[in-house]
């Protein structure tokens, strides 16, 4: 039985090398490739792969957002995320999105092939080191709305712009930012963004 794969990674060299290496396996076949989150969804709809191997951070939509959409649209497609940013909050979000595998990009192609088979068989695999880090870091103290507003503030956008993008009043945005800064024990919103990113909470 051949496992049909979708590979999504915005780094063309890595994606191409991975496709070539995985294609050497008798039971694995790369049926589609994508460089962005939206492209990954379009390819998944067109090819209905058995397993989607997604980079965590892609333009348009990250691997977790794509996994969430796949769970709704193509529940038969298992998702394995590879990442060079194994931050604790990312793992928690990935598991909540129904991701079956979560591994660092340092894994070998041969090991990745084994893990694709594991995930395809309905089992779950999380890299032990990433799992230990996630447990040690604990849960995010931020509400979903606080995290969203903090993320919108990440590029230094003024409150008025954040309010417009989040469809909130400026006062509400200020309250969310103030609450997030306070919960994270940060000096200001820029420090709060940095802290939240380091822990994978935004």
The residue-averaged pLDDT of 68-91 equals: 86
Residue 198 C-alpha from the chain's centroid = 14
Q: Torsion angle, CA of 81/84/86/87, rounded to 10 degrees? A: -120
Counting every residue, how long is the chain?
Answer: 202
In angstroms, the CA 96 to CA 145 distance is 17
Which pTM value belongs to this model?
0.71
Mean residue pLDDT of the chain comes to 89
- Of 198 and 165, the structure prediction assigns the larger pLDDT to 165
**Percent of the chain predicted with pLDDT > 70:** 96
- Of 112, 47, 37, whose CA–CA distance to 67 is shortest? 37
Cα-flanking dihedrals φ and ψ of residue 95, to 5°?
A: -65, -40
> DSSP letters of 45-93?
HHH--SEEEEESS-SSS-HHHHHHHHHHH-TT-EEEEEES---HHHHHH
pLDDT at 171: 92
- pLDDT value at 85 more than 70: no
Sheet holding 51-55, edge to edge: 28-34, 3-8, 51-55, 78-83, 101-104, 125-126
Ordered by where they begin, the domains of the chain are: 3-136 (3.40.50.2300), 144-198 (1.10.10.10)
The DSSP letter of residue 6 is E
pLDDT at 148: 84
pLDDT at 15: 92
């Amino acid at each position: 039985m051949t496992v049909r794969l979708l590979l999504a990674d915005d780094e063309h060299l890595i994606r191409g090398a991975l496709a070539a290496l995985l294609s050497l396996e008798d039971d694995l076949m790369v049926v589609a490739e994508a460089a962005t989150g939206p492209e990954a969804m379009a390819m998944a709809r067109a090819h209905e792969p058995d397993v989607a191997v997604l980079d965590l951070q892609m333009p348009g939509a990250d691997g977790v957002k794509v996994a969430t959409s796949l769970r709704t649209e193509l529940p038969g497609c298992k998702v394995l995320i590879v990442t060079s940013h194994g931050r604790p909050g990312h793992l928690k979000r990935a598991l909540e999105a129904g991701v079956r595998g979560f591994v660092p990009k340092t894994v070998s192609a041969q090991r990745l092939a084994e893990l694709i088979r594991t995930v395809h068989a309905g089992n779950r695999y999380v890299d032990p080191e990433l799992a230990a880090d996630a447990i040690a870091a604990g849960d995010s103290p931020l509400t979903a709305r606080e995290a969203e507003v903090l993320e919108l503030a990440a590029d230094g956008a003024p409150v008025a712009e954040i309010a417009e993008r989040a469809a909130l009043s400026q006062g509400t945005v200020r309250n969310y930012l103030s609450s997030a800064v306070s919960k994270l024990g940060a000096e200001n919103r820029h420090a709060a963004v940095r802290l939240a990113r380091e822990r994978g909470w935004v």
